[in-house]
């Protein structure tokens, strides 16, 4: 029975976009090295990276939507929030599953972020052997990214969160911290982790933005090296 593959990558296919850009360069040798099938080692990794980035984008957008819905609810419950602060009590949401959906998606975001980070590194090592005929290690990748002004602080945040969420503890609940001037517009959410420091939602933004900047820097570094080929 015949089967067909569905296009599940779309605009999130960073690896294919990168390869398409390199294919526009005049080097015939480069064009030949970029010609691989999906069954080739690099081709397989290319699809895996595209899948991971698409999954990460999806779960990031889900968390953003859930946070937006949380803010909308809190904006209409100023009196209930005031009572919780006065009596040091918990705030029940109208939909009791909302907290769990948000925790699941933050948990998934951390998992997919770490997985995407590791898969991109594996892809780059195979890519450099195929296209540039040389080995590359994590230290060289980090240095190339840093030279373009992108730091790796986000990886430290990610590694710490991964260890806390998947090795030591599990998410224990969600709390919100309120700003002093405009409490709701300045809120920050935290995932409670028993016995560990809370995971702030702003760290989620730092992880995703850092990863995105790193991908852009890597793409530029690959392009710059490719232009040196005859």
Q: Delimit the domains of the chain by residue range.
A: 10-226
**pLDDT band at 49; cut points 50, 70, 90:** very high
The token pair that represents 12 in the structure block: 């999130």
The count of residues in the chain is 230
Q: The tokens of 114 are what?
A: 């770490």
Half-sphere exposure of 125 (CA within 13 A, CB side): 8
Average pLDDT, the chain: 84
Q: Can you give the pLDDT at residue 181?
A: 44
Instruction: Give 142-184 pLDDT, tens digit per residue.
Output: 999 999 899 999 999 998 888 776 666 666 677 777 654 454 5
What token pair was written down for 208? Answer: 């995703």
> What is residue 7's predicted lDDT score, i.e. its pLDDT?
66
DSSP 166: I
Tokens of 107: 């948990």
Measured CA to CA, the distance from residue 207 to residue 142 in angstroms comes to 16
| Rounded Cα gap, residues 13 and 91, in angstroms | 41
d(CA 60, CA 190): 16
When pLDDT is averaged across residues 72-87 and rounded to a whole number, the result is 85
User: What is the model's pTM?
Assistant: 0.84
Residue 74 has pLDDT above 90, yes or no: no
- Does position 213 have pLDDT exceeding 90, yes or no? yes
**DSSP secondary structure code for residue 8 in this structure:** -
Q: Which two tokens stand for residue 72?
A: 């909308």
Q: What SS3 class is residue 155?
A: helix
């Amino acid at each position: 029975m015949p089967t067909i593959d569905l296009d599940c990558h779309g605009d999130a296919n960073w690896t294919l976009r990168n390869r398409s850009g390199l294919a526009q360069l005049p080097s015939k040798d480069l064009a030949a090295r970029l010609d691989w099938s999906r069954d080739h080692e690099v081709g397989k990794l290319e699809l895996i990276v595209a899948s991971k980035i698409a999954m990460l984008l999806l779960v990031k957008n889900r968390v953003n939507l859930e946070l937006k819905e949380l803010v909308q609810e809190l904006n209409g419950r100023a009196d209930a929030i005031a009572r919780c602060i006065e009596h040091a009590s918990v705030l029940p949401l109208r939909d009791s599953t909302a907290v769990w959906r948000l925790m699941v998606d933050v948990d998934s975001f951390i998992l997919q972020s770490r997985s995407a980070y590791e898969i991109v590194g594996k892809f780059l090592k195979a890519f450099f052997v195929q296209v540039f005929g040389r080995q590359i290690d994590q230290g060289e990748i980090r240095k190339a990214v840093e030279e373009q002004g992108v730091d790796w602080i986000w990886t430290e945040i990610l590694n710490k969160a991964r260890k806390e969420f998947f090795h030591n503890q599990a998410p224990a609940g969600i709390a919100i911290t309120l700003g002093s001037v405009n409490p709701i517009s300045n809120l920050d959410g935290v995932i409670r982790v028993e016995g560990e420091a809370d995971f702030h939602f702003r760290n989620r933004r730092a992880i995703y933005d850092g990863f995105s900047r790193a991908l852009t820097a890597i793409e530029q570094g690959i392009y710059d090296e490719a232009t040196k080929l005859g």
